[in-house]
Amino acid sequence: MAKIAQGAMYRGSVHDFADFDANQDAEALYTAMKGFGSDKESILELITSRSNKQRQEICQSYKSLYGKDLIADLKYELTGKFERLIVNLMRPLAYCDAKEIKDAISGIGTDEKCLIEILASRTNEQIHQLVAAYKDAYERDLESDIIGDTSGHFQKMLVVLLQGTRENDDVVSEDLVQQDVQDLYEAGELKWGTDEAQFIYILGNRSKQHLRLVFDEYLKTTGKPIEASIRGELSGDFEKLMLAVVKCIRSTPEYFAERLFKAMKGLGTRDNTLIRIMVSRSELDMLDIREIFRTKYEKSLYSMIKNDTSGEYKKALLKLCGGDDDAAGQFFPEAAQVAYQMWELSAVSRVELKGTVRAANDFNPDADAKALRKAMKGIGTDEATIIDIITQRSNAQRQQIRQTFKSHFGRDLMADLKSEISGDLARLILGLMMPPAHYDAKQLKKAMEGAGTDEKALIEILATRTNAEIRAINEAYKEDYHKSLEDALSSDTSGHFKRILISLATGNREEGGENRDQAQEDAQVAAEILEIADTPSGDKTSLETRFMTVLCTRSYPHLRRVFQEFIKKTNYDIEHVIKKEMSGDVKDAFVAIGNWQAPGVGAGALPGMWAGSLKEW
């Protein structure tokens, strides 16, 4: 069975067979192939129910008992796609990959898609095992054969991937991320022609964690995803290879889900692709592939295989798939397992939250105030200077500049800025000049002014601020508008939504850790109010109040535990249930609470509550 990282959840669909007896299995296979014809049902049932490691033991026992090669006998007895599938299952995974690559580069033409799929998706360890298996099986050097059958930049990238030297370090250098983004941008978008070597070096060697951050920063810097630049700058098989590498960096299971869908959609089935993926991923991440497939294509992988294949071939593939997600309904168990795994991950994960604006070094409020005055004096306005100064100072430094501006010139900097700039730039600059609590207070005021209410703005602010920030907003609102925030919310909203907002606006969320016993009780309340508990207790009004109390006042570490307990009780992910059972502003508010991340709490920062994703502020 594939090696699993310590503490990781096994995500394969094929497991070690309990009470395994290699000699007994060898005898059963020999009997199934003895005489006229063969018992294909027994063969597929046995082989698809054993792990790859156990199959290798069966091969050894078969040779010891009968002096025959099991794979050779299977080839003789079986035919077509079913034979190819069963024989691939009997090979060690590295030798299976080696055979696929040998077939891809043998004869007339090259199966570039096979080369791309295998070399773009395998880990360093899998690549090293593949190279050794190829040498052992064919007494040839894989790199030499790849070079002899491919050319150009496509060849160079394949050779880089064949080294199996991708960095594995989880510690990512922010400076190196920025440098790689700049190098990729200059190698493609900013250059006449393309410096393919930079793309090859960075995408072929950097760690997955590093590259994911590079892709995020590339989008922020250039306004387009890295995939768009690759499509615009590269071409042919090299372009396809680089896109596959990017997809695997982002999510290997999603890459394979897409490959499986394309293998079966439309007329005909790409059986070689289907076999290769089902065999190679059955003990690695088939459950993740199934989960993504079901979500992305709104049908289960099992049902698509069932409708697209036939006979023993179909039965064997379905066994490798491991289950029909459609049969379990919209929120099938594997989805709940993935969500639960995310909560476990988030419980131990810690991220350093970083803003993009930092306090300027060698800050001089006198010089800045004078520069801003000069930029607004006379005919016209030097907007570039205004932007440069204000966007490169922290909020605390901007407040010092405001005070210094008033001391030096007897003028209100905000009023001067209002008179000199306009439109979106004015809104941005004036927003930056306000203390955060006063800015939030103003946005809340605007959300409740005039006809209609901007509920999304209310939710965004009140569901994402810390207790200290909420208290500061209350003070700022009272100071600026001579009315309490609670009174304003009460007069402008109604029903459960009003109760949620007022609860959040008190800034009284618990700040301690989790309480496991309380979390189990809270999860039961959630299950009852969302009407998926077996035995509801208490009247609905009381349950609604308790549920609101849980989501609006419990600490975020505690809520994370509640969501885990909810999954254990119901096999459902609470976010999906809230979206299904609730509607309107109440639904949006509860989902936003779940998505909250605690800004400014340093090493104790929490990942996004629903997705478990590690975002940076």
Q: What is the dihedral of CA 327, 520, 593, 450, to 10 degrees?
A: 100
pLDDT for residue 414 is more than 50: yes
Residue spans of alpha helices (H) in 15-123: 22-33, 40-47, 52-66, 70-77, 80-90, 93-105, 112-121
436-505: CATH topology is Annexin V; domain 1 (1.10.220)
Mean pLDDT of 377-396: 92
Domains 166-250 and 253-329 alike in fold: yes
Which of 147-161, 322-336, 370-384, 572-586 ranks highest by mean pLDDT?
147-161
Instruction: Give start and end residues of each alpha helix (H) in 139-268.
Output: 142-149, 152-162, 174-187, 196-205, 208-222, 226-233, 236-250, 252-264
> What is the pLDDT confidence band of residue 134, given thresholds at 50, 70 and 90?
very high
158-162, 412-416, 515-519: which range is least confident on average? 515-519
Whether residue 524 contacts residue 532, with contact meaning beta carbons closer than 8 Å, is answered with no
How many residues in the chain? 617
Residue 119 has a pLDDT of 98
C-beta of residue 54 within 8 angstroms of C-beta of residue 22: yes
Give me the pLDDT at residue 346, please: 54
Dist. CA 526–CA 504, nearest whole Å: 19
Distance of CA 434 to the CA centre of its chain: 35
> 571 in the Ramachandran plot: left (φ > 0), alpha (ψ -120 to 50) or beta?
left
* Burial 1-30, CB ≥16 within 10 A → b, else e: ebeeeeeeeebbbbeeeeeeebeebbebbe
Please name the fold of domain 166-250. Annexin V; domain 1 (1.10.220)
For residues 174-190, give the mean pLDDT.
88
Domain coordinates in residue numbering, the chain: 22-78, 166-250, 253-329, 365-430, 436-505
Pairwise CA distance, residues 349 & 10, whole Å: 19
DSSP string computed for 270-283? -HHHHHHHHHHHTT
Is it the case that residue 615 has pLDDT exceeding 60?
A: no
Average pLDDT over residues 37-61: 96
pLDDT of residue 377: 87
User: DSSP letters along 443-495, please?
Assistant: HHHHHHSSSS--HHHHHHHHTTS-HHHHHHHHHHHHHHHSS-HHHHHHHH--H
Q: Please state which of the four CATH numbers 1.20.5.440, 3.30.420.250, 1.10.220.10, 1.20.58.340 is assigned to the domain occupying 365-430.
A: 1.10.220.10
Contact 501, 463 (CB under 8 A): no
Q: Which of 318-327, 475-484, 534-543 has the lowest mean pLDDT?
A: 534-543
pLDDT at 611: 37
Q: Give this prediction's pTM.
A: 0.59
User: Residue 81 — pLDDT band, cuts 50, 70, 90?
Assistant: very high
Residue range 253-329, CATH number: 1.10.220.10
**Contacts for 127 with CB less than 8 Å, ≥ 6 apart:** 119, 161, 162, 163, 164
Return the half-sphere exposure (C-beta side, CA atoms, 13 A cut-off) of residue 305: 30
* Phi, psi dihedrals of residue 52, rounded to the nearest 5°: -60, -40
What backbone torsions phi and psi does residue 554 show, to the nearest 5 degrees? -70, 150
Q: Domain 22-78 adopts which CATH fold?
A: Annexin V; domain 1 (1.10.220)
